[in-house]
Amino acid sequence: MKQTILDSSFIVMCIKQKIDFFEDLKLRGFQIIIPKQVIAEIKRLKNKNAELALKILQKNKFKTVDLGKGHVDKLIIRFAEKNKDAVIATLDREIKSKTKNHKLVIRSKNKLELI
């Protein structure tokens, strides 16, 4: 099964754009991985989209991983280096530019695209 690791920017933007990313990723055959650090980052955001994201995360099944201590983006980049087959779901330019893995991005404000 293919794995995809989700970044907080991806999750919150999917919520904002009303994209059902859980359903889309399951249909594509992905195992969804969300780092504990990403969940903590979303909890620190104090806005409506972040609150809704946390509710949606509670209702869906996904694998959590602990990436250790440090800046979340750098931890995701390190995860990508160790897991070359994992797809990185992010909108963050630094993560996109520093990883060679396939990326999952939002196109046309309502579609997920694998690049």
Describe the crossing of helices 72-82 and 36-44 by its angle, rounded to 10 degrees. 160
Beta strands in 9-107 (DSSP E): 30-35, 63-65, 87-89, 103-107
The pair of three-digit structure tokens given for residue 54, joined into one six-digit string: 């946390």
Whether pTM > 0.85 for this model: the answer is yes
Q: Which domains does the chain have, with CATH numbers?
A: 6-114 (3.40.50.1010)
pLDDT band at 1; cut points 50, 70, 90: confident
Q: Tell me the per-residue pLDDT of 46-79, one tens digit each, with 9 for 90 and over.
A: 899 999 999 999 999 999 999 999 999 999 999 9
